[in-house]
Amino acid sequence: MKNLYEQGEALLRLAEREANYVQVHISAPLQQKLELLSNKTDSFTSTEHVSYAVLVYVNGRSGTSVSNTFSPAVVERAIALAKASSPSEYFYGLPLKQQLHKLQIFDKRITALTEDGLIDIADEMIVGIADETVTLSAGSVTKQVSQDIIFTSEGIQQVEQSTALAIVAECIARKNGMIKSAWDYRQERQLSPLTPFTSALQEKATFFLDSKQLKEKMGIVIVKPEPFADLLEHAFLPNLNGKNNEKGKSCLTGKTDTQVISQKISIYDDALLPFGISSRACDLEGSPSQRTPLFSRGVLKNFIYDYNTALHTGKASTGNGGFSSIDFTNVVVEGEYQEVDKALVIDSVIGAHTADEVATDFSVTVERAYILKDGEKVPVTGFMLSGKMFDALQKAISLGKERKSYNGIYTGALATTGVNIILS
Amino acid sequence: MLDKIRQLLEKQDIRYWEFRQEEVVTTSTTAWNGTIKDMSSGAKEGASLRILCGNGWGFAHSSCPDAQKLVQQAVTLAKAMDRYGQKKDVAFTKTLKKKVESNYTKHPNTVSLEEKRDLVLKASKLPEKINNLRVVYTDNIKKKMYTNSEGSEIIQKLCYTYYGAEATAAVGDRMESAYKAHGALRGYEITDGLMDTVTEACTIARNLLSASVPKGGTYPVIIDGTLTSVFVHEALGHATEADNLLSNSTCLAGNENKQVGSEDVTVFDDGTVPDSWGSFFYDDEGVPAHKTKIMDKGVFSSYLHSRETAALTKNQLTGNARAQSSAYLPLVRMSNTYIQPGDADFDEMVAEVKNGIYLRGSKGGQVDPITGNFQFSAQDGFSIKNGELAGYLRAVSLAGNTLAIVKNISLVQEKYEDGFSGHCGKNDQSVPVQGNNPSISITKATVGGS
Ligand SMILES: [Zn+2]
């Protein structure tokens, strides 16, 4: 049987017989997942999700097809779809081959992890989190070793190997009839110590147990990295997508080079971030990866683009091209830190994905929060957080120094005066 | 392949096994403002083997399965788990040999790609006062084959069809969008309803431009059938999934057979609703789909089960073990979840609320099943003043706690009013779910606004 590289080449050659332009992407992640339930290991799964994706352009019409088996049918279906399609609104071609960066996204210590090694990690999670008050109710340890192969009709032949280890833990604290849940998630390309993760989660679960009803609103709200990343993803980032900008579906359209958010905040799309979870040498069209300033000290600098949308808008691709889509890679938020001694700190929210991405309106239930005052922390509950991400970023006063990553968004906590608190 | 697997497993000390094979072909067309954005197709096949060895579960999947490799992987993992695991069990059914196919009058495979293209092209032509209109059509043709150590052999041919429209309207800096969709376990014939859905999305988007944001706070509310579907699914349904009971993470634990809600509330999860988006014939553990009463006049009457949760909690099987594809382990999932209609008429409900808020449509929701705290967002709404619908509202969301809210349901509309064809996510797996529900009124809930 052909290896993946040969398979990619074969699909490209076959497609080129009829198509003017071709993108081929083979992704082959090998995954081992160990699930935990009630302080015990529960089940072990092993899966390989190989996917063969082909995008063809035939006389300015495109067709996409995906399959999980290697067969000429995947190319044939893409061609048939392209022929049945109507002409794209515009099409300029695909990027030519360019020099690519070499990236750090592989850790052989992860590849070397055996089944017993994964069970050891799970045991360490249980020992680190469970005690007489806290139960590790559900969780998982997932090892992933992936191969990604990109071929294009413009000469790109890219093979990348990457590793990832993901840890998910949900725990419940119970004491004197009180109950509270806590959750955390970590996905990294390198093996790193587990203790900071488990001890923080354990502490979190117990600390919020005795939360009191929040009685009054506070001027400054600090949104921790996890809820901030969640809100940013659903209520703000889509406005930075070049396609939404082109279609007038972005609240940032026409605002390039103007001060839009606080000058304390800068935002980048950075596909070159060392060991970044979405780092890669090139996008699926073959454009080299780069670090794209989106906001620089609050000034809107750019949107993310694929090759065709960029050319159509008079820009250059930012290396965010997918298969007929424009996708973020690692989103990195940087900013100025300023000490805040009195604030309402939001640790976790639910419902961020129901936000209105264009209006940037959100209204979420706060699951865990505390009042920070003179170095003391008092856990509080029973309120909602609402507002516009636009205002929250405009009225930012500080970005926390401790950077964490969630869903490819790397950020510290946001301190702002631009959100509302709704008491119940 | 199956014979080879049987042979290989015979030599092992195995309590239970199941083998699932699946072939799925998806076709999808998307148009944006009268131009084709994407024509795509997906074809996936694969097989997985799940076995119980002692007290250890092992699962192996491959897209190009090799019997020897699957058995070896599943056995290794199961034995590794047996050394560390806790007590495991499975509930058995009688042996089933079945071949079933879902209903359709026009199978999507008989419709040309050109026709599917023209459908979305035509529907996405920009109407007046709409800036963007995205229309999507998708069909999903599945063949699922299930075999287990009890001797069951089940073949299901399922045809899912779905369409949706997202409309955006703008005036100056203000931009509003609305999404409407419909899916069914049916064929291409359901696209007869596409234009109505497009019109509805466009009307809401245009209207939202003149809507105002309510003042956040506590109000009596009415939620329409769509939002009730999300409420029943998110707030109540997830808490009835028995795997959450095993991990001691449901707010309903300890409330079995107790009055937790108002007497007006009777709730079903029913995988047998004909042609519904959330329906199937057999779940992914080969158990027949079932109509389960999860709440009976406010009394919490049943959890939803997989073979494992039914065995460990000594309950009846409910046919709720579902997996996104053969590549995933089945989990306890809902199907079609709904409140049984009551006897109130909508105008009566508005009159009873007197001063409050009416929330309509859904932009999704989320719940923490452990605490029962939930949040969901409506598409739009109206304020209710002096027993009548008054000002038009946008950006309205609802928050509360499951156990508190089910007690506060005061009226249930006399008919199914509207539904919601959605995808439910759990442990990185997504499955289609549906709800057709009456409107309900709640005496007190937190509404998020400005
Ligand atoms: Zn759900």
Nearest by CB to residue B371, choosing from A48, A138, A179, is A179
Burial of A39 (C-beta count, 10 Å sphere; 0-12/13-18/19+): buried
Q: Can you say whether the dihedral through the CA atoms of B202, B204, B210, B213 is positive or negative?
A: negative
| pLDDT one-digit tens code per residue, A77-100 | 999 999 999 998 899 999 999 999
Q: Can you say whether the dihedral through the CA atoms of B308, B309, B313, B318 is positive or negative?
A: negative
Chain A closest-CA separation from residue B352 CA (Å): 22
Contact: A84, B112; criterion CB under 8 Å: yes
Residues of B in contact with A119 (CB under 8 A): 80, 84
Domains of chain A (ranges, CATH numbers): 4-206 (3.30.2290.10), 211-424 (no CATH)
3-state DSSP percent of chain B in helix, strand and coil, to 5: 25, 45, 35
Å from CA of B232 to ligand 1 middle: 10
Shortest CA distance to B317 belongs to which of B304, B329, B335?
B304
Helix or strand holding residue A222 (H, E): strand A221-223
For residue A329, the model assigns a pLDDT of 98
Other CB atoms within a 10 A radius of the CB of residue B99 amount to 11
Tell me how many helices (H) and strands (E) chain A has.
9, 22
Shortest CA distance to B338 belongs to which of B236, B442, B257?
B236
Contact: B112, A66; criterion CB under 8 Å: no
Q: Please check the confidence at residue A196 and state whether its pLDDT lies above 90.
A: yes
Burial of B254 (C-beta count, 10 Å sphere; 0-12/13-18/19+): exposed
Longest dimension (CA), chain B: 75
> Complex ipTM, two decimals?
0.85
Chain A closest-CA separation from residue B116 CA (Å): 9
Report d(CA B47, CA B326) in Å as an integer: 6
DSSP for A309-336, written as a single string: HHHHHT----S-B-SSSB----EEEEE-
| Backbone phi, psi, residue B8, to 5° | -65, -35
For residue B158, the model assigns a pLDDT of 98
Name the 3-class secondary structure at B117.
helix
Shortest CA distance to A134 belongs to which of A170, A168, A95?
A170
Mean pLDDT of A304-315: 96
Report d(CA B202, CA B189) in Å as an integer: 23
Mean pLDDT of A405-416: 96
- Crossing angle of helices A73-84 and A4-16, rounded to 10°: 30
Contact: B63, A247; criterion CB under 8 Å: no
Instruction: Please report, as a single letter, which amino acid is at residue B35.
Output: T
Shortest CA distance to B206 belongs to which of B173, B177, B245?
B177
- Residue A21 is classified by DSSP as E
Residues of A in contact with B377 (CB under 8 A): 351, 354-355, 363
Report d(CA A288, CA B195) in Å as an integer: 42
Mean of pLDDT over chain A: 94
CB A78 within 8 A of CB A56: yes
For residue A210, the model assigns a pLDDT of 87
Å from CA of B150 to ligand 1 middle: 31
Shortest CA distance to B58 belongs to which of B48, B67, B68, B66?
B48
For residue B85, the model assigns a pLDDT of 63
Burial of A190 (C-beta count, 10 Å sphere; 0-12/13-18/19+): middle
Contact: B39, A85; criterion CB under 8 Å: yes
Q: How far is CA B356 from CA B223, B230, B441, B445, in A?
A: 11, 20, 10, 10
Chain B closest-CA separation from residue A101 CA (Å): 31
Residues of B in contact with A422 (CB under 8 A): 216-217, 446, 448-449
Mean pLDDT of A268-293: 97
CB B419 within 8 A of CB B434: yes
Residues of B in contact with A63 (CB under 8 A): 39-41
Contact: B77, A119; criterion CB under 8 Å: no
Report d(CA A15, CA A55) in Å as an integer: 9
Chain B closest-CA separation from residue A38 CA (Å): 5
Report d(CA A202, CA A204) in Å as an integer: 5
Give the β-pairing of B356-360 and B380-385.
antiparallel
Q: Please check the confidence at residue A259 and state whether its pLDDT lies above 90.
A: yes
For residue B387, the model assigns a pLDDT of 96
Percent of chain A at pLDDT > 70 equals: 100
Å from CA of B317 to ligand 1 middle: 20
| Backbone phi, psi, residue A76, to 5° | -60, -40
Chain B closest-CA separation from residue A192 CA (Å): 23
Helix or strand holding residue B31 (H, E): strand B16-32
Mean pLDDT of A164-186: 91
Report d(CA A145, CA A106) in Å as an integer: 9
For residue A1, the model assigns a pLDDT of 59
Nearest C-alpha in B relative to A91:
B37
CB A367 within 8 A of CB A385: no
Report d(CA A201, CA A198) in Å as an integer: 5
Residues of A in contact with B42 (CB under 8 A): 65-67
- Residue A237 is classified by DSSP as G
pLDDT in tens, chain B (450 residues): 888 999 998 888 899 999 999 999 999 999 999 999 999 999 999 999 999 999 999 999 988 888 999 999 999 989 888 887 678 899 999 999 999 999 999 999 999 999 999 999 999 999 999 999 999 999 999 999 999 999 999 999 999 999 999 999 998 878 888 999 999 999 999 999 999 999 999 999 999 999 998 988 999 999 999 999 999 998 899 999 999 898 888 889 999 999 999 999 999 999 999 999 999 999 999 999 999 999 999 999 999 999 999 999 999 999 999 999 999 999 999 999 999 999 999 999 999 999 999 999 998 888 887 888 888 899 999 999 999 999 999 988 898 888 889 999 999 999 987 788 999 998 889 999 999 999 999 999 999 877
Nearest C-alpha in B relative to A38:
B247
Other CB atoms within a 10 A radius of the CB of residue A85 amount to 27
Report d(CA B223, CA B229) in Å as an integer: 10
| pLDDT one-digit tens code per residue, A331-358 | 999 999 999 999 999 999 998 988 888 8
Report d(CA B147, CA B199) in Å as an integer: 45
Nearest C-alpha in B relative to A382:
B400
Residues of A in contact with B177 (CB under 8 A): 249, 356, 358
Chain A closest-CA separation from residue B343 CA (Å): 30
Report d(CA B117, CA B115) in Å as an integer: 5
Contact: A363, B367; criterion CB under 8 Å: no
Report d(CA B225, CA B227) in Å as an integer: 6
Contact: A249, B131; criterion CB under 8 Å: yes
Mutation target vs A (from B25, B28, B62, B81; most A CBs, 10 A cutoff): B81
Name the 3-class secondary structure at B444.
strand
Residues of B in contact with A178 (CB under 8 A): none
A27 sits in the region (left: phi over 0; alpha: psi -120 to 50; else beta) called: beta
Mutation target vs B (from A27, A47, A239; most B CBs, 10 A cutoff): A47
First to last CA, chain A: 64
Report d(CA B250, CA A175) in Å as an integer: 16
Contact: B373, A367; criterion CB under 8 Å: yes
Strands (E), A289-413: 291-296, 299-300, 331-335, 342-350, 361-373, 376-381, 383-388, 396-399, 404-406, 409-411
Å from CA of A193 to ligand 1 middle: 33
Nearest C-alpha in A relative to B363:
A354
Residue whose token pair is 């084959």: B145
Mutation target vs B (from A247, A354, A367, A368; most B CBs, 10 A cutoff): A354
Chain B closest-CA separation from residue A251 CA (Å): 7
Nearest by CB to residue B84, choosing from A41, A74, A356, is A41
Domains of chain B (ranges, CATH numbers): 2-208 (3.30.2290.10), 217-448 (no CATH)
Nearest by CB to residue B41, choosing from A68, A77, A420, is A77
Report d(CA B405, CA A99) in Å as an integer: 60
Contact: B374, A181; criterion CB under 8 Å: no
Contact: B363, A354; criterion CB under 8 Å: yes
Residues of A in contact with B396 (CB under 8 A): 363
Q: Can you say whether the dihedral through the CA atoms of B93, B82, B67, B142 is positive or negative?
A: positive
Chain A closest-CA separation from residue B41 CA (Å): 5
